[in-house]
Amino acid sequence: MYPDLDVVVIGAGFSGLRMLYEARSRGLTARVLEAASDVGGTWYFNRYPGARTDSESWAYCFGFDKRLQEDWDWPERYPSQPQVLSYLRHVADRFDLRRDIQFDTRVRSAVFDEEHDVWVVTTERGERLVSRHLVSASGLLSVPYEPPFPRLSSFRGEWYMTARWPHEPVDFAGKRVAVIGTGASGVQLIPIVAATAARLTVFQRTANYILPARNYVLHDAQRQAIKANYDAIWEQVRRQAMGMPMNPANRVLGDVSPEEHQRILEAGWEEGGFRYFLETFDDIFVNPESNALAAEFVRNKIRTIVRDPATAELLCPKPDHPLGAKRPPLGHFYYETFNRDNVELVDVSGNAVDDITPTGVRLADGTEYEADVIVFAMGFDAMTGSLTSVDVRGRGGVTIAEKWRGGPRTHLALTVDEFPNFFMIAGPQIPFANAPVMIEPAAEWIGEAISYTREHGHTRIEPTAQAVTAYNEQCETFFNATVFPAGEKIRSWFVGANIPGKPHGVALYFGGYPNYIREVRQEAEEGFTHYRFSAVRDARPSVGVAGS
């Protein structure tokens, strides 16, 4: 069996588009399989009202092509979902990527054939593709957590999931709306729904720290300055721990007086977004004292903003919840929304949502809340779900779900032992960082690894088990040096704890983006020393059925 293609890529979001560009520029034949009817990935599906990035637009984009940077204008500090989707469509068209993307095609299985060193990929449409390499670009937060309520189908009203929002507009005007979930998605949606709904009931299980986004429209001079400074912006991003266009604070809590603490936190709060914790004190995630101070500052802000003291206390995260232990969402007048007469907050931390009835939401104690519309903003089977939900089999028929039954284990978030010729972009154990800037070096590294394999006459590349173990240990060490382990008890997706029954394991690299990039570059530049290579006899090149 000979391969038809050099590379099959699953997914046409940021990762898949960038990987296709990389493959083409290396002369590889590639085909992208995409379940949706257009490019966009996350930004195709998560089209709920209020959806926008939490990263600043000037770094939430690709950096590989100067002309692309020059001809794209970002209208706001945080681009909205339609704006990001337009950008990705523009990228697809500008680089003529669509001719190698097959839409409306969901992958059913991908099985490694050990005799021929190829991946046999089957789709739900019944096609079969044979490829030397397989790249998963299927997203880190792409498989939604389905509402687990047995009687949901009995509900007589409308219901929606934020992560599978319909293309048609949803009208909340004059309706009683229930929202379950107050993570980043719910937090963005809630103020928009509140503006028109007759009544909005928000069901909150865990209060999180919602930082003010402070979005603004970019005026002409700002947009021109961004374009003129892309090199400097990218330089800054490469040095920043989370791949953000920000500078380190260059101070820790102990460097300044208690009076200064409040002034610095106030300035960070006013700047808005992740600048609150990235530009105030550099030890917020590693020093419990620094973290507690920044956390209490947010609680006090909530108490100042929310007029009803009981509601304010419910919105305050508990003292055993460090800031950042669950990914902090950015709010657009989120806390202010609870001052509206038509909005009610229901605490379900000790009185769970038990089921959905024909007329609304029922809690464990039997209380019922009537609703015309229910929105589920309940999160994702993060980091691993997009792979474990597909039948992906490596050597010896081992599935990726079996491989990760104790939690995800990877080498550099790019490869997995026992899964030869298999690569991931934005896979588990990627740095906790701004997604597009992680995607670029991953796509480049994968391109280099494939080229290296071919140029040395090999047909197989696979990381050693020792390298995977070492990287996993590193991920655990970094994680344990932070305040994030406390998130396990409060169901953080950082460790897989948000999905009942899911194996827990450190799903992100907390060693900082610059360290990660250093490791990735070193691996490539030293000739992939943590990898084993081999070749099948009579290995012909792919025949290239792709459009390119």
By CB under 6 A, name the binding residues for ligand N01. Answer: 52-54, 141, 180-186, 188, 203, 205-206, 327, 348, 353, 377-380, 491, 493, 498
Query: Using CA atoms, how far apart are residues 10 and 426, in angstroms rounded to an integer?
Result: 12
Q: Which is nearer to ligand N01, 7 or 433 (CB)?
A: 433
Query: Using CA atoms, how far apart are residues 132 and 541, in angstroms rounded to an integer?
Result: 9
Query: Using CA atoms, how far apart are residues 237 and 1, in angstroms rounded to an integer?
Result: 44
Yes or no: say if 486 and 291 are a contact pair by the CB < 8 Å rule: no
Q: Which is nearer to ligand N01, 380 or 404 (CB)?
A: 380
Cβ at position 303, least distance to ligand N01 in Å: 21
For residue 5, the SS3 value is strand
Q: Which is nearer to ligand N01, 309 or 500 (CB)?
A: 500
Distances (CA, A) of 519 to 67, 171, 441, 442, 477: 29, 49, 11, 12, 16
Cβ at position 4, least distance to ligand N01 in Å: 35
What number of other Cβ atoms are within 10 A of residue 33's Cβ?
25
Cβ at position 170, least distance to ligand N01 in Å: 17
| AA identity, residue 165 | W
HSE-CB of 48 using CA atoms within 13 angstroms: 24
Query: Using CA atoms, how far apart are residues 204 and 182, in angstroms rounded to an integer?
Result: 6
Cβ at position 18, least distance to ligand N01 in Å: 18
| AA identity, residue 366 | G
Cβ at position 379, least distance to ligand N01 in Å: 3
Q: Which is nearer to ligand N01, 378 or 412 (CB)?
A: 378
- Which two three-digit tokens encode residue 249? 């604070």
Query: Using CA atoms, how far apart are residues 230 and 222, in angstroms rounded to an integer?
Result: 12
Strands (E), 11-117: 30-33, 101-102, 107-113
Q: Which is nearer to ligand N01, 132 or 205 (CB)?
A: 205
Q: Which is nearer to ligand N01, 112 or 493 (CB)?
A: 493
Position with the least CB separation from ligand N01: 183
Q: Which is nearer to ligand N01, 110 or 237 (CB)?
A: 237
Cβ at position 375, least distance to ligand N01 in Å: 11
Cβ at position 302, least distance to ligand N01 in Å: 16
- When computed from its CA atoms, the radius of gyration of the chain, rounded to whole angstroms, is 24
